Amino acid sequence: MAEPVQTPQASFPPRIFSGIQPSGGLTLGNYLGALKRFVEKQEEGIETIYCMVDMHAITVWQDPEKLRQQTREGAAAFIAAGIDPARSILFNQSQVSAHVELGWIFNCIARMGWMSRMTQFKDKAGKNSENVSLGLFAYPSLMAADILAYKATHVPVGEDQKQHLELTRDIAIKFNNDYGVDFFPVVEPVIEGAATRVMSLRDGTKKMSKSDPSDQSRINLTDDADTIAKKIRKAKTDPEPLPDSLDGLKDRPEARNLVNIYAALAGHTAEQVIRDYAGAQFGTFKPALADLAVAKLEPITLEMNRLMQDPAEIDRILGKGAERADAIARPIVDQVYDVIGMIRSRRG
């Protein structure tokens, strides 16, 4: 890949962009690794742009009616978690054509070798790599376009997206070098907090994921209080009490995961949680965690359900957000066309 170079970032005002796929069922991992942190960024007063990436979702086949439903559900989750559509821009990707336009241009910037190294593609394609869509391979280049169509400088994501953001940096650097411009910012991944990688409740070495066949492995944002509490009480652990330092969690992935989840939900550090629960048995810690999880998640689930009663209102919010997003991205992508030498006579 291109050598990482320090480009002067001063010319790019701070702007946050992030996205979530509407491919069904948001989990506690999405909430702690993404949504909750999106809200924190909004509260910091930085310009925040959040997107339901429906074009990314169709890299694997989606039932059209379900896709619409899941896009609304995702938007409802953003709002229920605290995203204010008046302060942040909230929209779905397909309503702003700048994304796919820039995505194509980036397909011509990104190198096959770079794309072939993407571990998410390798994981998703598995042994089936001859038979997955071309879109699945190109996925990270569209993701770079999502971000750079806004010249976003900071991208809050979970740990699993780090490699895609490194690719975004490489694409920005290569574009700038190829055309001799300082056009795109080199984005900073924002991977922070106690739960950048929430693990499965059944296996502390696997990421909590909506695609895990076992529903017991995850907490869904649509789970009711009872289900949440049961899943936490049944979460896999070991027989030891909690240690008195983080070091003592090193070889205990399940225990470490529950401590991280507690910390992220409570807004504490993992160190603080260990201090409070040193020597506690899981018989004590799990019910405390279950109570905390229900207290934090139940209001969000209830609000999501309320919002989902009025799909037309959600669509209206997404439409309004798309207009605001387009107003930023359109001129940027128009300038890209000029930079790369496309005739733009239609616009006079």
Instruction: Report the catalytic residues.
Output: 124, 207, 210
Q: Provide the minimum distance between the beta carbon of 240 and ligand TRP in the complex, in angstroms, as a whole number.
A: 34
Sign of the Cα pseudo-torsion (262, 268, 271, 272, in order): negative
Measuring CA to CA, which residue among 247, 199, 250, 230 is closest to residue 32?
199
Q: Provide the minimum distance between the beta carbon of 187 and ligand TRP in the complex, in angstroms, as a whole number.
A: 9
| Residue 135 neighbours by CB distance under 10 Å | 14
Options 16, 49, 52, 53; binder of ligand TRP; rule CB under 6 A = 53
d(CA 284, CA 102): 52
Size of the site for ligand AMP (CB under 6 A): 15
Is residue 207 a contact residue for ligand AMP (CB under 6 A)?
yes
Taking CB atoms, the residue at the shortest distance from ligand AMP is 33
Options 17, 33, 254, 336; binder of ligand AMP; rule CB under 6 A = 33
Q: How far apart are the first and last CA of the chain?
A: 39
Q: What strands, in cross-sheet order, belong to the sheet with 188-190?
A: 89-92, 47-52, 15-20, 154-156, 188-190
Q: How far is CA 301 from CA 6, 25, 306, in A?
A: 43, 12, 9
Based on CB atoms, which residue is closest to ligand AMP, 54 or 170? 54
Size of the site for ligand TRP (CB under 6 A): 13
Q: How far is CA 101 from CA 20, 105, 106, 333, in A?
A: 20, 7, 9, 8
Is residue 193 a contact residue for ligand TRP (CB under 6 A)?
no
Q: Provide the minimum distance between the beta carbon of 339 and ligand AMP in the complex, in angstroms, as a whole number.
A: 30
Residue type, 331: P
Is residue 167 a contact residue for ligand TRP (CB under 6 A)?
no
Does residue 98 contact residue 144 with C-beta atoms inside 8 Å?
no
Does residue 196 contact residue 159 with C-beta atoms inside 8 Å?
yes
Options 47, 73, 101, 146; binder of ligand TRP; rule CB under 6 A = 146
Based on CB atoms, which residue is closest to ligand AMP, 171 or 195? 195
Options 83, 109, 147, 290; binder of ligand TRP; rule CB under 6 A = 147
- For ligand AMP, the binding residues (CB under 6 A) are 20-21, 29-30, 33-34, 157-158, 160-161, 196-198, 207-208
Binding site for ligand TRP (CB under 6 A): 17-19, 21, 53, 56, 143, 146-147, 155, 157, 161, 164
